[in-house]
Amino acid sequence: MLQVAVFVCVGWLLSVCLHEFGHAIVAYWGGDTSVKDKGYLTLNPLKYTDFNLSLVLPLIFLLLGGIPLPGAAVYIDHRRLRSRLWKSAVSAAGPIASILVAVLLTITFRFGSSLPLAEYRWIWPALAFLTYLEIYVVILNLLPIPGLDGYGIIDPWLPPEIQERSRKFGQYGIFVLFALLWFVEPFNRLLGEGAFSISEMVGIPSPMVGMGYRLFNEWAKVLLVVAIVIAIAVRQLTRKPHEKWYDRGNGKLRGRKYEEAIAAFDQAIRVKSDFPEAWYMRGYALLQLQRYEDAIAAYDKAVEIKPEYWEAWYDRGIALEILQRREDAIASYEKAVEIKPDFHLAWYKFGLALADFQRYEEAIAAYDKAIEIQPYDANIWTDRSAALGYLKRYDDAIASCDKAININPKHFLAWYNKACANAELGKVDLAIENLQMAAKLDADKFKETAKKDTSFDSMRHHQAFIKLIGE
C-alpha cells in the first residue's frame, strides 16, 4: 500500500534527522563548534546525507531481503570535546533522541488507534511498524561494536591502548554487524524478538507490526529508487561547485587518501579563493603527509580570510612545533586559546611549547587551564609533573603523577617522573619501586631513558638501580 510506504519513509527520515541532530547539538554544547560550520544544527536531511549510509547501504539491505531504509551521519571532531563525559554524551544523544521518537510514536498509537478513522485505517499498522523499527534500531545502535553509538558511549572510559585499537577497527564495525545480522541467525533472531517483546510491552501488538511490514514492503523498492534519484538530483542542484569539491575532499580525507583530498580542496579554492574551510582542510591533509611548510602556508591563508579560525591557529601551532619554530608555535597556540578558551588541547600544547623554553610557571598555568576543562587526561598531569620537577617542587610533582596514574595506571612516564621526584627527595626505596613499575610497563624505553637521565645521579650506586638498567 503506497500510503503506508510513504508514511513509514517520511517518519523514518524525520527520526534519522532527529537522531543525528541529537549528536550534533550535544557535540556543539560539549565544545565541537565545527558542527555549526558544517551545517549540522538543522533538521534538513540533506545536511546529514552520506553516500554510503544513505544510498549504498539501503541498496545492500534491499538485495539481502532486508528493509531498505536510509541512514545518515554527522562527523564530530572528538578532540574538541571538553571531557570523557561529553564524548559519551555525544554518542548517547542519538539513541536518546530515537528513544524519545519511539515513545512519542507509542503514545500516538496507544491513544489514537481507538479513534473512528475508517478511511485511514492503514495508518495504524504503518505507525505500529514504524514504532517497531525505532525500537529495533535503538537496540541495534546500542550494541558495543566499534562504529556504533553503544561502543562510543563506553569508549572514552576504556584504557588508551584499547581505544587506539578500536579506532583502527571502527571503520570495519559496520561489516561485522552485517556479518552478524545475515550469517548468525540466533543473533538476528534475538534482536528481532527483543524488539517485538518491547513493542508488545508498550502496547504495540505484533500482528499489527507484521501487517505494517507487509503493506510497506509492497512499495518499498519503488520508493527507494525514487528517493535515490531525487536525493542525487536535489544534492547536485542545490550544492555550489566549491561545496561539491569541498565535500569530495572531506570524503577522501575520511578514506585517508590525502593527495586526492588536496587535489579536491585545490579545485574548491580555484572556484572560491576566499573559502577558509577549504584552505584549513588542505592544511590538515598536508599535515598528515608531513609537508609542514605547505601546511603552514595553507593555515596562514585560512586565518587571513577568517582571523577567528581557532582550529587553523591550533593546527598551525602543531606544524610550527614539529619544525621547531617554537616561538611561532607559542604565538599560534596563544591565539587559539584566546579565541577558543575552552579547548583543552590548545592549552595543553601551549603548555608544552612554553616548557620547551623553560617557562615552567607559565607552562603549569597552561596545564592547569587544560585540566580545568579536561581533568581526565593523564598526559597533561604527567607533563605538569615534569614542569613542577624542574621547579624543584617535588611533592607537587608526585601529587601530579599520582593523578595521572589514577587515570591511567599503565602510564609509563607518570611512574618514571614519580621516581625522579622521589629520587630528588632522597626517597631511594620509593624511587626504586616506581622505577620497577616503569620498567615493567616498558622495559626498553625505561633503560634508554634511565641511562641518559641525570635525575638518578644520587642512586646510581644502588644495586637495585644497576640491576634495573642492566649495567
What are the residue numbers of the active site? 20
Quickly tell me which residue has 508514511 as its cell: 7
> Exposure of 120 by Cβ count < 10 A (0-12 exposed, 13-18 middle, 19+ buried)?
exposed
User: Residue 49 and residue 244: Cα distance in Å, rounded?
Assistant: 13
Close Cβ partners of 173 (under 8 Å, ≥ 6 residues apart): 145, 146, 147, 148, 151
**Per DSSP, which regions of 149-194 are E strands?**
none
d(CA 107, CA 115): 13
Q: Which of 451, 375, 439, 374 is nearest to 413 (CA)?
A: 439
SS3 at position 461? coil
Of 305, 304, 303, 301, nearest to 314 (Cα)? 303
Give which of 144, 46, 134 is closest to 92, Cα–Cα. 144
Residues in Cβ contact with 331 at an 8 Å cutoff, skipping those fewer than 6 apart: none
Measure Cα distances from 427 to 164, 167, 416, 418, 424 in Å.
36, 41, 14, 11, 7
Tell me how far apart the alpha carbons of residues 2 and 316 are, in angstroms, rounded to a whole number: 55
Distance CA 283, CA 290 (A): 10
Instruction: Give residue 239's identity as a one-letter amino acid code.
Output: R
Instruction: Give the span between the Cα atoms of 396 and 425, in whole angstroms.
Output: 12
